[in-house]
């Protein structure tokens, strides 16, 4: 089973509000189509999660909503969730054009945080969809948060939680960079401890309320299974079983 995140930074123009990177999304959809077409036994199970990029982070930032700072305004929730829903329809549309049986799972309707901020993400529907041959497509979203109103859940958090609950064999984060970069902009092949890369790990260059690369690495290190962070050129190799970019273990 594979859990794959399509980073918002790769499928959107992250610096321009609500702007899709249509070419990048087409390339990602092509790679996914190829991988599933090569799966002759049709037994590969794939869950896709996408991030926000310029759909969601800008809205969240305007309303002052982060993973810990919440809102009690329905208008803010609708605005952030609406932007993510728009991007989700673009992603689904590109997958449907390739005859992939992709269906949305919206975290706002299923997930929540307790008053410690811990995520509760029900997965029965994801498991059932997978068992029936669908490709569930989740996305970073705004969700109920006990005592805080509603806060952001990042696609990265969803990936980590899904991977743990579903026992994923492979976890891939496709982003706008070819991997985690060192001080000379070279890809770091392997990270086994946060300290290995702490000096070079930063936030996102663009508007991002969920923590950029540092948060990604920290979250992936908590997983038992190994995970890969790679760019668009790494997506097809990753889906074919290779380890492009940076491996986090
Ligand atoms: N050492 C590093 N190596 C690579 N990227 C880094 C590093 N430090 C900070 N970054 C930033 O992290 C960004 C990737 O994180 P970001 O959260 O924007 O990606 P994403 O998950 O693809 O997008 P989104 O969060 O919108 O879904 C890069 O574009 C870069 O700006
Ligand atoms: C609603 C938002 C901002 C989604 C955030 O998801 P991410 O891009 O994976 O961090």
Predicted interface score ipTM higher than 0.90: yes
Question: How confident is the model at residue 158, as a pLDDT?
Answer: 97
The full set of domains in the chain, from first to last, is: 2-248 (3.40.1160.10)
CA 189 – CA 150 distance, rounded (Å): 37
Q: What is the DSSP string of 156-192?
A: HHHHHHHHHHHT-SEEEEE-SSSS-B-TTSPBPSEES
Ligand 1: centre distance to CA 217 (Å)? 10
Question: How confident is the model at residue 69, as a pLDDT?
Answer: 98
pLDDT in tens, the chain (249 residues): 999 999 999 999 988 889 999 999 999 999 999 999 888 777 779 999 999 999 999 999 999 999 999 999 999 999 999 999 999 999 999 999 999 999 999 999 999 999 999 999 999 999 999 999 999 999 999 999 999 999 999 999 999 999 999 999 999 999 999 999 999 999 999 999 998 888 888 766 777 777 789 889 998 999 989 999 999 999 999 999 999 999 999
Question: How confident is the model at residue 210, as a pLDDT?
Answer: 74
What does residue 196 show for φ and ψ, rounded to 5 degrees? -55, -30
**Which ligand has the nearest atom to the CA of 205?**
1
- For ligand 1, whether the C-beta of 212 sits within 6 Å is yes
Given a contact cutoff of 8 angstroms between Cβ atoms, the answer to whether 55 and 12 are in contact is: yes
Ligand 2: which atom is nearest the Cα of residue 158?
Answer: 9
CA 60 – CA 54 distance, rounded (Å): 10
Instruction: Give the bridge partners for 103, in sequence order.
Output: 136
Tell me the best of 154, 175, 218 to mutate to test the pocket of ligand 2, counting ligand atoms within 8 Å of each CB and taking the most. 154
Question: How confident is the model at residue 238, as a pLDDT?
Answer: 97
Question: How confident is the model at residue 212, as a pLDDT?
Answer: 80
Given a contact cutoff of 8 angstroms between Cβ atoms, the answer to whether 106 and 80 are in contact is: no
Question: How confident is the model at residue 165, as a pLDDT?
Answer: 97
């Amino acid at each position: 089973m594979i859990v794959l995140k399509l980073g918002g930074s790769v499928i959107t123009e992250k610096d321009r509000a609500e702007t899709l990177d249509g070419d990048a999304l087409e390339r990602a959809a092509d790679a996914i189509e190829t991988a599933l077409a090569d799966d002759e036994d049709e037994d590969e199970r794939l869950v896709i999660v996408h991030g926000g990029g310029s759909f969601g982070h800008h809205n969240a930032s305007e309303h002052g909503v982060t993973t810990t700072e919440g809102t009690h305004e329905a208008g803010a929730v609708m605005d952030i969730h609406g932007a993510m829903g728009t991007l989700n329809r673009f992603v689904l549309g590109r997958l449907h054009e390739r005859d992939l049986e992709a269906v949305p799972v919206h975290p706002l309707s299923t997930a929540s945080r307790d008053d410690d901020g811990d995520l509760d993400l029900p997965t029965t529907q994801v498991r059932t969809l997978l068992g029936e041959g669908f490709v569930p497509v989740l996305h970073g979203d705004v969700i109920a948060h006990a005592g805080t109103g509603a806060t952001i859940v990042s696609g990265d958090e969803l990936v980590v939680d899904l991977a743990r609950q579903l026992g994923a064999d492979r976890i891939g984060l496709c982003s706008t960079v070819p991997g985690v970069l060192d001080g000379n902009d070279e890809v770091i092949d392997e990270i086994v401890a946060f300290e290995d890369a702490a000096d070079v790990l930063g936030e996102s260059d663009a508007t991002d309320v969920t923590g950029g690369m540092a948060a990604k690495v920290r979250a992936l290190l908590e997983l038992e299974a190994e995970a890969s962070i790679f760019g668009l050129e790494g997506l097809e190799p990753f889906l074919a079983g290779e380890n492009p970019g940076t491996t986090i273990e």
